[in-house]
Amino acid sequence: MTTTAQITPDMTMEQILEIAPSAQRALFQRYHVGGCSSCGFQPTDTLAQVCKDHNILDVKEVLRTIHSAHEADSKLQVDARTVKGWLDAKEDFSFIDVRTPEEWELAKIPQAELIDYDNPGKYMGLPKDRKLVFSCKTGMRSLDVAAYFVGHGFTNVFSMRGGIDAWSTEVDRSIPRY
C-alpha cells in the first residue's frame, strides 16, 4: 500500500490523487490550483510540472500540504460498521446522505436523510458540536462535504468511508448497489 510519504514530485497527478484524493482540495485551498479550467492540471501532469506551471517554488511544502490534508481527511472518516453501531446504540446524530435525489431513489439507508440543498441554513444553523455523519455512493463526495463543514467550524463531523457501497457490503446486503 502506497502512503502519502511516498508521493514524489515526479508522480502524475492521477497517481497522487489515487493515494490522496484530498490533494485536489488541498491544492486548491492553499495554492488555488486545480479548481477551474484556468488553474487546472491534467491527470498526466507531474506534481513538479504543476508546481512549475503555477509558479510554486517550494515543492517540498506542496508535498507537506498534501500529506497534512490526507491526514486530516483520514480523521474525518468512519467506517460503515461504526455508524451502524452508533445507530444501534441510539446515539443522537445527524446522518445525512449527500447524493442526488436520483441516486437516493436507487438505494437508500433508511436511517439517513437526503441532504436538502435548497435549505443550507437547515444545517449551518445546527450546533457546531453536533455529530454529523455524511454519506454518498463511495465516500468521496461526503468527504468533501465533511471537510466543508469542518471549515465552517463544526467539530464533530464524519464521512462514512466507502459510502452506501460499503454499507451494502458490510452492514446490510439488502441495500442495492448501483
Handedness of CA 76, 74, 173, 89 (dihedral sign): negative
51 given a catalytic annotation: no
CA distance linking residue 113 with residue 96, whole number of Å: 5
Contacts of 73 (CB under 8 A, 6+ apart): 21, 22, 143, 147, 159
Q: Give 154's contacts (C-beta < 8 A, 6+ positions apart).
A: 126, 128, 129, 130, 132
Q: Which of 36, 39, 51, 136 is catalytic?
A: 136
CA distance linking residue 11 with residue 18, whole number of Å: 11
Which residues have a catalytic role annotated?
136
